Amino acid sequence: MQISAEQLVGDARETNTMTPPPKQVVLDQTELENKGNVADARQVYEIWMMTVTPQQHSCLGYIKFELRYNEVKRAEQIYEKLVQCHPQAGSWIHYAKKCYERAVQKVRTDDKEAENLFVEFAKFEEESKEIERARDVYKFALNSIPSARAENLHKKFVKFEKQYGNKEVIEDSIVEKRRCQYEEEVRKNPLDYNTWSDYICLEETIANIPPTEEKQYWKRYIYLWINCALYEELVAKDIDRTRDVYRQCLKLIPHHKFSFAKMWLLAAQFEIWQQNLEGARKILGNSIGRAPKCKVFKNYIEIELQLGNVNHCRTLYGEYLRWAPQNCSAWIKFAQLEKSLSETQGARAIFELAVVQPALDTPELLWKEYINFEISEGEYERARQLYARLVFRTKHLNVWISYANFEATAGVDMLGDQVSLASLFEQKKQCLHHARRVFETAVNYFKTSVPEQKEERAMLLKEWLNMESSFGNLGDISLVQDNMPKKLKRRREAISKDGCTGYEECYEDYFPEETPDPNLKILKTAYMWKRQRFGQKNLND
């Protein structure tokens, strides 16, 4: 049987004993929170607190609950009760640890006292026998605080690693400290070439790979390899040594976690300069197989295209799109390649396959290219069908306008200079009819399906009016003018920054079928009566 939170609170107030609530209470609390009923879940936690000496795990669970909903003040009150009821060292350590964690989140790293906070936090973790947490605090601080203000932090970290770290970690700590010193010295005096020389020697002597498989720690390390390869190639003129540098670097990178497209491309470009095309293909193919990247695909395709290997380009595009089917740019480039080869059916098949993908990064660009492709081929009926499919999917204002503009000019530019005036007149008449039908459908959609989008509807009518005007005598602006909205001034309630309530004047669009104000309707009727009785001239007077 389920026990409500209100019943449990009443029972706890009546008994107020040290006996913990039944196990079902905990289950109810979890279920209440999962259902989003935070208030009742909090009441269940309060039941635990009503005992004379609430259990330690109950207090900690309640604290975590309040912190999940950012109720810091409540969590602090529960911590105070925890250390009162259980004044053991463990409770105080847990309380202090949370205070340090909150301080690290709130204090800005450019604060002059931030370094001292991190040092004290790490020292606290060290004294609590939490060595790994202390090491993480030091590393986080060294990555957050500028090196110019972290000298004491480096000293403390080196001392800490000498006591708890292994040989490799200690060496890395010392190297990092020396690196920061060199950076500070060359920042103060960029012309101190002795310091620059020592700094370069320090970097060149680093043989160990970064200790963690996180890309941010590998970027600088990889640039050391790049500089080494460029030196061997351009200065030492040692081709075999350069090739070996690239090969060794690519072996060290943990491609299962991350990779560096720049290194793959540099290695392949080097082989091309050495007229070793097969070697370059092998490197790029290996890159695609182990760690595919858009940049690698693009460069590989460009190389093969320059060599005229069209079939190889098609194969690469196939691999590219199997790996990244959401990449609209790749689909468009592939279709453009087929079009440049006069393979119209192939380009159309690629576009058709692209638009049915379940997820695309920039679908609007893909549809635009597909439609423009059909227009360039003179396939206006196909383009019309594509527009119909697109507006069925998106119903966006810009799509409706683009569709109508297409219909307003479809086929006119294909008639040529020798066409008769009668044929031109008939074609324009057909274009106007199609465009007007699109605008009517679009206006009806915004009027009935999304009446709240008044601004979009007004913009659509404005575009329709401009289109009718552009057709001259063929157009009929009265079809649109009767549906145009009127901007009416009204007062609406507004709340200022200081919380005061007032009113402000604003303009809103009102369409003919709307009645914004009964009094306004009366005034409009009176105006029309006066106009009919006295005539337009006397009315203007």
For residues 226 and 291, state if they share a domain.
Answer: yes
Distance CA 363, CA 508 (A): 33
What's phi and psi for 398, nearest 5 deg? Answer: -65, -30
Host domain of residue 517: 487-529
Give yes or no for residue 154 having a pLDDT over 90.
no
Query: Which residues 6+ apart lie within 8 Å of 32 measured at CB?
Result: 5, 38, 40, 41, 44
Number of other residues whose CB lies within 10 A of the CB of residue 521: 11
Alpha-carbon torsion 252, 257, 258, 259, what sign?
A: positive
Q: Identify the domain boundary among 263, 291, 324.
A: 324
Over the stretch 275-307, which tens digit does the pLDDT of each residue have? 999 999 999 999 999 999 999 999 999 999 999
For residues 476 and 511, state if they share a domain.
Answer: no
Give yes or no for residue 327 having a pLDDT over 80.
yes
Tokens of 211: 């200790």
Distance CA 461, CA 442 (A): 9
- When pLDDT is cut at 50, 70 and 90, the band that residue 265 belongs to is very high
H/E stretch holding 502? strand 501-510
Over the stretch 58-100, which tens digit does the pLDDT of each residue have? 666 666 666 666 666 666 666 666 655 665 555 555 655 666 5
For residues 274 and 291, state if they share a domain.
Answer: yes
Tell me if 481 sits within 8 A of 461, measured CB to CB: no
Distance CA 342, CA 348 (A): 11
Over the stretch 159-198, which tens digit does the pLDDT of each residue have? 777 777 655 555 566 666 666 777 777 677 777 666 665 6
Q: Does 213 fall in a domain?
A: yes
Tell me if 136 sits within 8 A of 121, measured CB to CB: no
For residues 425 and 449, state if they share a domain.
Answer: yes
Length of the chain: 541
Distance CA 411, CA 431 (A): 8
Q: Would you give the end-to-end CA distance of the chain in angstroms? A: 84
Exposed, middle or buried, 345 (CB in 10 Å: 0-12/13-18/19+)? exposed
Q: Does 273 fall in a domain?
A: yes
Q: Does 122 fall in a domain?
A: no
Question: Can you give the pLDDT at residue 87?
Answer: 59
Tell me if 383 sits within 8 A of 374, measured CB to CB: yes
How many structural domains compose the chain? 3
Distance CA 286, CA 267 (A): 12
Q: Identify the domain boundary among 302, 324, 346.
A: 324
Give yes or no for residue 314 having a pLDDT over 50.
yes
The residue with greater pLDDT, 238 or 31, is 238
Closest CA to 480 of 504, 464, 467, 499: 464
For residues 448 and 510, state if they share a domain.
Answer: no
Number of other residues whose CB lies within 10 A of the CB of residue 317: 20
For residues 313 and 229, state if they share a domain.
Answer: yes
Number of other residues whose CB lies within 10 A of the CB of residue 260: 22
Question: Can you give the pLDDT at residue 527?
Answer: 65
Q: What is the mean pLDDT of residues 136-145?
A: 71
For residues 497 and 516, state if they share a domain.
Answer: yes
Tokens of 117: 């906070």
Tokens of 41: 């879940």
For residues 479 and 513, state if they share a domain.
Answer: no
